[in-house]
Amino acid sequence: MVPLSYYLLLSGFLFACGVLGFLIKRNIITIFMSIELMLNGVNLSFVAFAAHWHVLAGQIFVFFVMVVAAAEAAVGLAIIIAVYRTRETLNVDQVNLLKL
Amino acid sequence: MGGAVNLLAQRHPINSALSLIAVMAALAGEYLLLGAEFVAAVQVIVYAGAVMVLFVFVIMLLNAGEEEETKGSRVALLLGVPGVLIGSVLVAWVVLRSSGTETVPIGALPGPPTEIAQLLFHDFLLPFEVTSVLILIAIMGAVVLATKPDAAERKAN
């Protein structure tokens, strides 16, 4: 028997770690992984609430979040590859112009 | 938690990726504790399997090295750390204050795949179809973005 608030705290911690990584990391791939971490934190709170209220719909939302995360990862990594081809760098500070 | 902190602490992206895999495996364990076996299995297969393989593949493909310290990163560190700390403390305070002592029994909600499928293909049919279209568009976008520009031009000529 684990209190619901523990799950919520862990979920909030994961989300905060994701936000922090998003802010302080300069490598574009690591920034992407921070976004995945945020999505995972939200998923944990979805599942915790689904178990708490005995509603299965929460788990369905987790699947949708996973699908969106997978699509986002595919498109984002393709964008990263395209950026690397044109600029030869992965540092977001050096990618400050949309035109070449 | 340790994996998440490690993701921030590591400077090399491959180490961050490995710690993110550790976080996802731990989360799959949490889902098992919450009785969501199917979600746990999908978490391991989709996230720790497919998405992270994609990440590691791109890291190796682009030969990503150590990230260097820049002016922007120091500014972000100075502003970001206190902001996130304040925000998370606020959220933790609200959660601890508003939630009583209600507990989630371990394995309370056995989410059998049959019930999940019933929900997914009956009540959530339209969102399901919309996500399939989204996946299709994402695949096409990824292919278009990742093809070499000169190859596309050669095909056009």
Whole-structure pTM value = 0.80
pLDDT at A27: 79
Per-residue model confidence as pLDDT tens digits over A38-82: 898 898 888 888 887 777 788 888 888 888 888 888 888 888 888
Identify whether the C-beta of residue A21 lies closer than 8 Å to the C-beta of residue B76. Answer: no
pLDDT at B36: 76
How many residue pairs from chains A and B have C-beta atoms closer than 8 A?
223
Contact B84 A44 (CB under 8 A): no
Q: What is the DSSP letter of A91?
A: B
Residue type, A14: L
List B residues 15-44 in contact with A (Cβ-Cβ < 8 A): 16-17, 20, 23-24, 27, 30-31, 33-36, 38-39, 42-43
Interface test with A, best of B52, B53, B62, B119 (most A CBs within 10 A): B62
Task: With a threshold of 0.90, tell me whether the complex ipTM lies above it.
Answer: no
Interface test with B, best of A8, A14, A20 (most B CBs within 10 A): A20
Query: From start to end of B67-116, where are the E strands?
Result: 103-104
Select the residue of B27, B62, B105 nearest A1 (Cβ to Cβ).
B105
What is the distance between the alpha carbons of residues B2 and A59, in angstroms, rounded to a whole number? Answer: 25
To which residue do tokens 């699947």 refer? A63
**The CA-based dihedral angle spanning residues B30, B36, B39, B44, taken in that order and rounded to the nearest 10 degrees:** 40
